[in-house]
Chain A
Amino acid sequence: MSESEEDFDNWIIDSLKSYKDLHVFQMEHPINVMDWTSQKTVCTAGSGSSKSEILELCLPPKLFADENKSLCAGRDFTVLHGAFTDRIVSCLQHVPGTRCIVTGDELTSDLQVWDLGGDESDIIRRTGSIKGKSQVSEGGVRMATTPTHPPQILHGSTICDIHLTELNTGTTLYKNESDSAEPLSSLQFLNDRVFLASCCNGDVYIADSRMSASCRLSSPPESLDRCNLWWTNASVGPDLSSCRIISLSATGEAVVSDLRNQKNPRNVVSRAQLNLQTHQCNLDHVMLWWAPELKDCFSVSGFSGEVQIYDTSHWRTELQEVQPLFQHCGHAVSSTLSDRDVPPLVTSHIWHPSSPQTLLSAASDGSVHVWDWVIPSGPEPEQL
């Protein structure tokens, strides 16, 4: 048996205790972006050399079979709908409350609007587009949605070109006025009107989309190195003051801050130096998420072939090295890439919205994993 097969076998045996459920799939093209379209369905976009394939997949029935789980043999994804596009899709967002998704590509700041369709057909149809307002920055366009009627999409690639557009009419409902051309690393709604615009240099802006005022800068903590590259994610709580922000730099420095004092600079709650095992120069696929159902836990991927989950509950304000609570190494050990010198990179991962420890992850070798991990023994994070 080859060394790599042995590694994979070892990992599978270890996984008997460390995962409740594990599914490993191989797609034809690596998946770059994913978003949930319901509790059991996910939309993905994977790209070959010049085209992207958008799929709406139904999760394996066995994962969610509840009482009859043991009698359910279905371990496979079902392709519900699909479409092709001539662009390389670099971001994808499902519009909540609709059967629409919006995609963006790397080259332009234009957005494509699609209708996933129902039972009558398995084709995803393009229903329209939203013209980009400016040249796209290096990172590509960012998007965010929140359940609203009629459906809207927040999009932009730099601070000065953030727009909120009504999907059906294309009307601009909000536009940020700013001179700064700082590229965005993410956009995120904190409630149905307030959103966070995070920049690659670590700056975070807050705005209310119903007011015409510009985004207000919530200055980063003084210690944040603004020459570094930063990613940010906010945990959404019952009110803004309970919102926690996790910021991560390209060199692995993680800072947890909050908006409780509404003061500048932001209040630092804790920080740590992560062991990211970076061996990649390409940081276009970094993803950072707070776990939706596990308190104080967040996940990070895009630096290597692993997805790491950290528990921040025991972090302190002084910087110290921490180890992840859990690491999903499946992509790295099961790689089918022939060139072992270029290990796969995790391109995307998402948490299931309600199943506390279920995640979906995809890597540059075309693999897609669905995994339900077991919290290693020790103090367990609270479930929210």
Chain B
Amino acid sequence: MPEINVTPLGAGQDVGRSCILVSIGGKNIMLDCGMHMGYNDDRRFPDFSYITQNGRLTEFLDCVIISHFHLDHCGALPYMSEMVGYDGPIYMTHPTKAICPILLEDFRKITVDKKGETNFFTSQMIKDCMKKVVPLNLHQTVQVDDELEIKAYYAGHVLGAAMVQIKVGLESVVYTVSVNKSVQAAWIDKCRPDILISESTYATTIRDSKRCRERDFLKKVHETIERGGKVLIPVFALGRAQELCILLETFWERMNLKAPIYFSTGLTEKANHYYKLFITWTNQKIRKTFVQRNMFEFKHIKAFDRSYADNPGPMVVFATPGMLHAGQSLQIFKKWAGNEKNMVIMPGYCVQGTIGHKILNGQKKLEMEGRATLDVKLQVEYMSFSAHADAKGIMQLIRMAEPRNMLLVHGEGAKMEFLKGKIEQEFSIDCYMPANGETVTVKTNPSVPVDISLNLLKREMALGGPLPDPKKPRPMHGTLIMKENSLKLVSSEQALKELGLNEHQLRFTCRVQLQDPHSDADTLHRIYTHLKGLLKGYSIQHLPDGTVMVESIVIKVSSSSEDTNTKVLLLSWSYQDEDLGSYLSNLLKKGLPSGLC
């Protein structure tokens, strides 16, 4: 039985290091290659020893696919390709390809420069790794080789995030990290993959609405502004910054607020550049804004100059980088940290070692360069705007995609018996939840399509006997021709013709002795009546030349030379009618019933 194997890689049970190995149709694919942020040693990387104990991964993997730019999905990529060794193709969407190296470099700098680590990939390794990347367009089928094809679909999770369909022959797997419910996933309706793989980190949650998160954000900003404080929002160029700007602009307009909002220029240029490139990847709201007016020509949001940070009075500033680890956001933070009227809003996860991470852990005194300490008196707010699928989202995903099997990847060891039961009950499919390092084998049942020649079909249908029951298999004679990628069923004559061979006929003959006092002709007639009564649905003819034909089987009667009551029946059939011929000979050996006339 054909099967698909799925193994989440990794040495621990913690969340955050996405890397899944899929074996389908003889091909091996790695889905994502993430870094675990919580560990400082090799445990932060997936355990590649599962693939091979020593040496490079190139010959063991047909391709690597990265779903989106978050570090827990691509953070270990340069390590895998340059330090462990992999030279094959790495597939990801265009935005992911553009953003990954920036994040990887930032991350590398923090880890090596701030934390002083040594066993880490270098800047050159990141560059070399990205050279192996083959970018994907949406809805475009890519032939990895002559058997493996992949296709990317819009996932709506972050910019450039994709759902990926992997197909080998008639078996397919779909991998998704999350599906934004606003995504019109019409394609998924026709999909029906053998396995749908999804992250389930948030599968046991029910998410608060986006509006309420935004409300909380507006409330905090408003309260700070009202008391004359300043709000710093450290952002990554392509994170939530644009959406938050649109939100604030609308709010300012509505409430008639006067406090200035600034967006640092570096941010503007980069963002403009990327958004223009990837306009098809952004969500509706941003696209509408971008089309209506040029990205950052807001009424209330202006370009920032570093001198503004010293201006008195309330203001809001968006600045990079997002984790306060360097640059402008850190400069502004240092100036504003000492005043409790001010606020810093962290809109996402911060890597260990950064100032962002420290203040989110409640640290009130920070050590700066030159042994100076910074007192953190301003209010620190942690807000999460991430868009992972929750319990309901996963059910909706399965409802749309209609997979034959469901596989949830989670690193938490969290008990999800209830969700598993819910999925199995509602959709009548198996739901697997492998732990890291555990392989799940899913048996597939691919159908093999074969074309049948019209002549053969017509002939089989014209043959007598019980009509073919679609549920009951029925033997038929034909020849299977496998040419290029197609399978064809044709009649034997057709096949012989194509091969240029002569057809040979094979006939069987059988003699059956029968005791019957009647004349030959009468005996034949009795045989005819007997068979006619028994073999309804078959063509049975009593021919004037003194034979009975059952389909194409010929029956003749002659008397034995010694005894006229001993009849010898001659049955003759071609090999195609072997079944019926054998049946008739056995039947007639039993003799004729007496009541026949």
Contact between chains at B206 and A83 (CB < 8 Å) = no
Stretch with Cβ within 8 A of B (4 or more), from A70-78, A274-282, A296-304: A70-78
Partner of B425, one of A15, A73, A84: A84
Q: Tell me the complex Cα distance, A25–B206, Å.
A: 7
Contact string, A22-34, partner B, CB cutoff 8 A, digits 1/0?
A: 1111111000000
Query: Using Cβ atoms and an 8 Å threshold, which residues of chain B touch A75?
Result: 207-208, 212-213, 216, 384
Contact between chains at A73 and B384 (CB < 8 Å) = yes
- Given A27-B206, A121-B417, check contact A84 B422 (CB 8 Å): yes
Question: Can you list 10 residue pairs at the A/B interface with Cβ under 8 Å?
Answer: A13-B218, A13-B254, A13-B255, A24-B209, A73-B383, A74-B384, A75-B213, A83-B418, A84-B421, A121-B417
Give chain B's interface residues, CB within 8 Å of chain A.
Answer: 202, 204-209, 211-216, 218-219, 222, 251, 254-255, 360-362, 379-384, 390-392, 395, 415-419, 421-422, 425
Contact between chains at B219 and A16 (CB < 8 Å) = yes
Interface size on A, residues (CB 8 A): 36
Contact between chains at A60 and B382 (CB < 8 Å) = no
12 extra A-B contacts, CB within 8 A, seeds A77-B205, A79-B206? A12-B214, A15-B215, A16-B218, A23-B212, A25-B207, A71-B381, A76-B207, A76-B208, A78-B204, A79-B391, A122-B415, A122-B416
Contact between chains at A82 and B392 (CB < 8 Å) = no
* Chain A residue with Cβ nearest B379: A70
Contact between chains at A24 and B212 (CB < 8 Å) = yes
Query: Using Cβ atoms and an 8 Å threshold, which residues of chain B touch A60?
Result: 208
Contact between chains at A26 and B215 (CB < 8 Å) = no
- Given A70-B381, A73-B384, A82-B422, check contact A26 B362 (CB 8 Å): no
Query: Using Cβ atoms and an 8 Å threshold, which residues of chain B touch A76?
Result: 202, 205-208, 390
Distance to closest chain B CB from A119 (angstroms): 8
* Chain B residue with Cβ nearest A69: B381
Partner of B215, one of A22, A70, A74: A22
Distance to closest chain A CB from B183 (angstroms): 17
Query: Using Cβ atoms and an 8 Å threshold, which residues of chain A touch B254?
Result: 13
Q: Tell me the complex Cα distance, A25–B251, Å.
A: 23
Contact between chains at A71 and B380 (CB < 8 Å) = yes
Q: Which of B219, B254, B381, B421 has the most CB of A within 10 A?
A: B219
Q: Tell me the complex Cα distance, A57–B205, Å.
A: 9
- Given A15-B215, A70-B380, A122-B204, check contact A79 B392 (CB 8 Å): no
Contact between chains at B205 and A123 (CB < 8 Å) = no
Contact between chains at A57 and B206 (CB < 8 Å) = yes
- Given A27-B206, A76-B206, check contact A71 B362 (CB 8 Å): yes
Query: Using Cβ atoms and an 8 Å threshold, which residues of chain B touch A120?
Result: 415
Contact between chains at B381 and A27 (CB < 8 Å) = no
Query: Using Cβ atoms and an 8 Å threshold, which residues of chain B touch A315?
Result: none
Distance to closest chain B CB from A342 (angstroms): 22
The 7 closest A-B pairs by CB, nearest first: A82-B418, A75-B208, A73-B384, A77-B206, A24-B209, A76-B205, A122-B415
Contact between chains at A78 and B219 (CB < 8 Å) = no
Chain B interface, >50% SS class: helix
Contact between chains at A24 and B382 (CB < 8 Å) = no
Query: Using Cβ atoms and an 8 Å threshold, which residues of chain B touch A142?
Result: none
A68 interface residue, CB < 8 Å from B?
A: yes
* Chain A residue with Cβ nearest B414: A122
- Given A23-B208, A82-B422, check contact A122 B417 (CB 8 Å): yes
- Given A13-B254, A79-B205, check contact A28 B417 (CB 8 Å): no
Query: Using Cβ atoms and an 8 Å threshold, which residues of chain B touch A13?
Result: 218, 251, 254-255
Query: Using Cβ atoms and an 8 Å threshold, which residues of chain B touch A123?
Result: 417-418, 421
Distance to closest chain A CB from B330 (angstroms): 19
A285 interface residue, CB < 8 Å from B?
A: no
Contact between chains at A121 and B415 (CB < 8 Å) = yes
Q: Tell me the complex Cα distance, A8–B211, Å.
A: 9
* Chain A residue with Cβ nearest B214: A12
A81 interface residue, CB < 8 Å from B?
A: yes
Contact between chains at A73 and B390 (CB < 8 Å) = no
Contact between chains at B215 and A122 (CB < 8 Å) = no
Contact between chains at A24 and B380 (CB < 8 Å) = no
Q: Which of A25, A73, A334 has the most CB of B within 10 A?
A: A73
Q: Tell me the complex Cα distance, A57–B392, Å.
A: 14
- Given A70-B382, A71-B362, A122-B418, check contact A12 B211 (CB 8 Å): yes
Distance to closest chain A CB from B209 (angstroms): 4
* Chain A residue with Cβ nearest B203: A79
Query: Using Cβ atoms and an 8 Å threshold, which residues of chain B touch A26?
Result: 209, 392
Chain A interface, >50% SS class: mixed
Q: Tell me the complex Cα distance, A82–B425, Å.
A: 13
Distance to closest chain B CB from A98 (angstroms): 20
Q: Tell me the complex Cα distance, A13–B361, Å.
A: 31
Tell me the A72-117 residues at the B interface (CB within 8 Å).
72-84
Q: Tell me the complex Cα distance, A83–B419, Å.
A: 10
Query: Using Cβ atoms and an 8 Å threshold, which residues of chain B touch A78?
Result: 204-206
- Given A72-B382, A79-B204, A122-B204, check contact A24 B211 (CB 8 Å): yes
Q: Tell me the complex Cα distance, A122–B421, Å.
A: 11
Q: Tell me the complex Cα distance, A356–B381, Å.
A: 25
* Chain A residue with Cβ nearest B222: A16
Q: Tell me the complex Cα distance, A223–B381, Å.
A: 56
Distance to closest chain A CB from B485 (angstroms): 44
Contact between chains at A79 and B418 (CB < 8 Å) = yes
Distance to closest chain B CB from A263 (angstroms): 50
Query: Using Cβ atoms and an 8 Å threshold, which residues of chain B touch A12?
Result: 211-212, 214-215
Query: Using Cβ atoms and an 8 Å threshold, which residues of chain A touch B360?
Result: 71
Contact between chains at A73 and B395 (CB < 8 Å) = no
Contact between chains at A16 and B215 (CB < 8 Å) = yes
Q: Tell me the complex Cα distance, A72–B207, Å.
A: 15
Query: Using Cβ atoms and an 8 Å threshold, which residues of chain A touch B212?
Result: 12, 22-24, 75
Query: Using Cβ atoms and an 8 Å threshold, which residues of chain A touch B362?
Result: 68, 71
* Chain A residue with Cβ nearest B347: A73
Distance to closest chain A CB from B322 (angstroms): 15
Query: Using Cβ atoms and an 8 Å threshold, which residues of chain B touch A121?
Result: 415, 417
Distance to closest chain B CB from A156 (angstroms): 32
* Chain B residue with Cβ nearest A24: B209
Contact between chains at A25 and B209 (CB < 8 Å) = yes
Query: Using Cβ atoms and an 8 Å threshold, which residues of chain A touch B202?
Result: 76
Query: Using Cβ atoms and an 8 Å threshold, which residues of chain A touch B382?
Result: 70-73
Q: Tell me the complex Cα distance, A260–B180, Å.
A: 58
Contact between chains at B425 and A28 (CB < 8 Å) = no
Partner of A28, one of B205, B216, B395: B395
* Chain A residue with Cβ nearest B416: A122
* Chain A residue with Cβ nearest B388: A76
* Chain A residue with Cβ nearest B209: A24
Query: Using Cβ atoms and an 8 Å threshold, which residues of chain A touch B211?
Result: 8, 12, 24, 334
Contact string, A45-84, partner B, CB cutoff 8 A, digits 1/0?
A: 0000000010001001000000010111111111111111
Q: Tell me the complex Cα distance, A116–B255, Å.
A: 47
Distance to closest chain B CB from A294 (angstroms): 23
Distance to closest chain A CB from B344 (angstroms): 10
Query: Using Cβ atoms and an 8 Å threshold, which residues of chain A touch B209?
Result: 23-26
Distance to closest chain A CB from B530 (angstroms): 58
* Chain B residue with Cβ nearest A80: B204
Distance to closest chain B CB from A274 (angstroms): 29
Distance to closest chain A CB from B196 (angstroms): 19
Q: Tell me the complex Cα distance, A73–B385, Å.
A: 9
Distance to closest chain A CB from B234 (angstroms): 15
Q: Tell me the complex Cα distance, A77–B205, Å.
A: 5
Contact string, A1-39, partner B, CB cutoff 8 A, digits 1/0?
A: 000000010001101100000111111100000000000
Distance to closest chain A CB from B282 (angstroms): 19
Query: Using Cβ atoms and an 8 Å threshold, which residues of chain B touch A8?
Result: 211
Q: Tell me the complex Cα distance, A24–B362, Å.
A: 28
Query: Using Cβ atoms and an 8 Å threshold, which residues of chain A touch B251?
Result: 13
Q: Tell me the complex Cα distance, A82–B395, Å.
A: 15
Q: Tell me the complex Cα distance, A71–B379, Å.
A: 10
Q: Tell me the complex Cα distance, A220–B205, Å.
A: 46
* Chain A residue with Cβ nearest B220: A70
Distance to closest chain A CB from B138 (angstroms): 28
Distance to closest chain B CB from A366 (angstroms): 9
